[in-house]
Amino acid sequence: MFEGETMIAAAPMVWGQGWIGLGVLHWADSDTPLYSDLLCRPDREKDVFPLLAKGLLAQPGLRKLKVDYVPDDSALARFCAFLGAEPGCPVPTPHIDLSMGPVLDRLSPRRRKDLRNYRRKLEAMGPVTFEQHRTPEDLAELVAWIFRFKRSKLADHDGANWIQRPQTEHYFRDLAMRLAAQGRALGHRLRVGDQTAAASLTFRRGDTAFYSKIAYDPCFAAGSPGWHELLALSECLRADGVHLFDLMIGTGFVKEKIASGANVMRSWRLKVNPLTAFLPRTGSRAYRRSAPAP
């Protein structure tokens, strides 16, 4: 959507055929657990939302709009509510407030003792070092390593088909390489001797970092390399001036132990009368069922 030659909003969507031959608009996301959002100037939402809604509902044969992974505080969530779409169940997205100091200091004495024992187990296998990777070439190599071990770990997990597709790895590789040129991608690696024990990929926007991917080599599982990698990454980000470390979608033991809070995301669905595009814009019961909420 443009105002003169200036873009004020963008809404990427893909048209698909539903099971009865009518159209379904899907948000053009990565088909992975990354957040979805609408690109819109905050001061123009009141102008953009009605025009965007009108354009969507004018699509002939549209039956449904599907949007996943939408943070509650995003422009896309506000637009979905404006449309009158139905929100799904809330899903927590934990985060760490790095301005509160080192994450390690917030752990219980017993947890810190366990981590010291795990560290000794890693050191018994070889010297323990951490590396940062910020160039496109280094990030491409690190993404390949992460996906190799992530695929192996999730091979038998329900709902994890997305990571088995080669296109998914290509998407994250290309995204990391592009953002590296802007200083917004960080690869972080834990080495034991000359072998990679764990590695992570993080993206940054302003003073917020988004924890995108982590994987570890099960050969080093006795030393809990994922714990050490995440704690070292947190300190690296804190030193870089990051204030909020978003651990993103999903929960787990480690996230629950180190998170200082959580936001919420959810999916949205809008059912549309497929005759909407052919009916008058006012006075039609079929149109009113699909019209934006006041």
Asked if the model's pLDDT at residue 289 lies above 70, the reply is: no
Integer CA distances (angstroms), 176 to 10, 161, 187, 188, 236, in order: 22, 21, 9, 13, 18
> What confidence tens digit (pLDDT) does each residue in 150-209 have?
888 877 666 667 778 888 899 999 999 999 999 999 999 999 999 999 999 999 999 999
Asked if the model's pLDDT at residue 284 lies above 50, the reply is: no
Please give the Cα distance from 35 to 29 (Å, whole number): 8
Is residue 213 packed enough to be buried (19+ CB in 10 Å), middle (13-18) or exposed (0-12)?
A: buried
Place of tokens 């010291």: 116
Please give the Cα distance from 249 to 263 (Å, whole number): 10
Please give the Cα distance from 223 to 232 (Å, whole number): 15
> What confidence tens digit (pLDDT) does each residue in 45-103 have?
999 999 999 888 888 888 889 999 999 999 999 999 999 999 999 999 999 999 999 99
What is the pLDDT averaged over residues 7-24?
Answer: 82
Residue 154: both structure tokens together: 């999730």
Residue 202: both structure tokens together: 């993080």
Quick one: three-class SS letters along 43-111? HHHHHHHHHHHHHHHCCCCEEEEEEEEEECCCHHHHHHHHHCCEECCCEEEEEEEHHHCCHHHHCCHHH
The alpha carbon of 58 is separated from its chain's Cα centroid by a whole number of angstroms, namely: 30
Which position has the higher pLDDT, 47 or 279?
A: 47
Q: Are 62 and 274 in contact (CB under 8 A)?
A: yes
pLDDT at 276: 57
Q: Are 154 and 163 in contact (CB under 8 A)?
A: yes
Q: Which helix (H) or strand (E) holds 245?
A: strand 244-246
Q: Are 245 and 98 in contact (CB under 8 A)?
A: yes
Asked if the model's pLDDT at residue 286 lies above 50, the reply is: no
pTM value is: 0.84
Asked if the model's pLDDT at residue 287 lies above 90, the reply is: no
CA dihedral 94, 97, 101, 105 (to 10 degrees): -20
